[in-house]
Copies of this chain bind each other. A is one copy, B any other.
Amino acid sequence: MTPDGEAQLRAASLRVTRPRLAVLTALRGHPHVDTDTVISLVRADHPTVSHQAVYDVLRALTNAGLVRRIEPAGATARYETRTSDNHHHVVCRSCGAIADVDCAVGHAPCLTASHGHGFVIDEAEVVYWGTCPDCSEGS
């Protein structure tokens, strides 16, 4: 099993608070959800947590590397706990569903495009666009 939230927070020298644990738990069970959904999930157990707290927590966890923020074009920010393995995402054009995709071309393939106008490139982000099973079925 993944280390429990408390251990993760301490390892990142972040204070262990109820809202933070709740957000981590919510994201564990529901990958790729937006902020609003996180708020709902958190409030299921802790009704008094403010939306601002969730925004703060998500930012803190993202900065600490415990959570990864993804932001597909035309959608609001989503979050997931699967970090540090440079995987990518498929996004459904019609319903917005997101699924994980392991890096196709081995590891960090695209960083080879380094001769980009003098830019120092440190990350290559890939987003696949398409149609999810549910949506392509209907048509």
Residues in A lying within 8 Å of B, measured CB to CB: 69-71, 73-74, 77, 88, 90, 92-93, 99, 101-102, 104-105, 109-113, 116-133, 136
Contacts and interface: CB of A to CB of B under 8 A. Distances in A.
Contacts of A111: 128
B104 A128 contact: no
Nearest to A91: B119
Contacts of A92: 119
A112 B126 CA distance: 13
A105 B109 contact: yes
Question: How many copies altogether?
Answer: 2
A116 to B, nearest CB: 4
13 contacts: A102-B113, A104-B110, A105-B110, A110-B110, A116-B130, A119-B132, A120-B130, A121-B130, A122-B130, A123-B129, A124-B126, A124-B127, A127-B127
